[in-house]
Structure 1
Amino acid sequence: MPLKGSCHCGNTKFEVSEPPADVTRCTCSFCSKRGALWAYYKPAQFRLTSPEENVATYLWRSRTVKHHFCANCGCGTFGESPDWSTGKPDFDNPKIGVNARLLDDFDLDAVPVTVVDGKNLW
């Protein structure tokens, strides 16, 4: 059963195929200022259910990660990036990072949080 999520104003809505088993807190300057807890999915496990024009995109530094946010209320909603699990970008295996704080009917306190030291990694 898909899990739904949305931004504050409701203009950007999405679904993921299942609840996350864990979430990630990145300490890089962007993620720490945004305050997101990221749940990662394969592209086939994510579906934007609102019009694409409701979503704005921020590209920073290397421009390899698309940081999406609601064009109306500004909530950071999801991102698209290559898989970085090997330490190098794997563009053949992209992933979607969903801001788990925006998931409806989900107990965020019930899943473990992994901290990634993005402040010193990139």
Structure 2
Amino acid sequence: MTTHQGSCHCGKVAFEVDGDIDGAMACNCSMCQRKGSLLWFVPRAQLRVTTGADALSTYTFNRHVIQHHFCATCGIHPFGEGRDPQGNAMAAINIRCLTDIDLDAVPVHHYDGRSK
């Protein structure tokens, strides 16, 4: 399992996440379409905020089941938190915030969140 490093734009929020990226999701819901994130889902225990947890702000909308975290300084959304259908704690990592990957090499699944 690989450990990936990531951060917001200004660097106040940094994190590590363990796992092997085999794909990402692009969602067209009102939130994801605007922020342009590519999401990779991992168990929450695989995500560690290494600096700046106090710099994170949180936004929820619709059913308020996903906590969309963003840096209060630069506004970048590095990850969100929620639960999968079985109730397990999950993290949705914005792979655009990872420093060590080739985005063009990651297969992207398009999810119609707008219709949900």
With the shorter chain as reference, the TM-score category is over 0.9
Which letter does structure 2 place at the counterpart of 1:74?
G
Q: Give, in angstroms, the shift of residue 11 of structure 1.
A: 0.5
Unmatched tracts of structure 1, length 5 or more: 85-89
TM-score by length of 1: 0.89
Identity level (%): 40
Count the aligned residue pairs: 115
Provide Cα deviations, 1:14-70, integer angstroms capped at 9, x if missing partner: 111134110000010100000000011101111111132111000112111100001
The equivalent residue for 2:40 is 39
* Structure 1 CA distance for aligned equivalents of residues 52 and 97 of structure 2: 18
The equivalent residue for 2:111 is 116
Over the aligned positions, Cα root-mean-square deviation in angstroms equals 1.1
The equivalent residue for 1:87 is none
TM-score by length of 2: 0.93
Segments ≥4 residues shifted beyond 6 Å: none
Equivalent pair of 1:16/1:46 in contact (CA under 8 Å):
yes
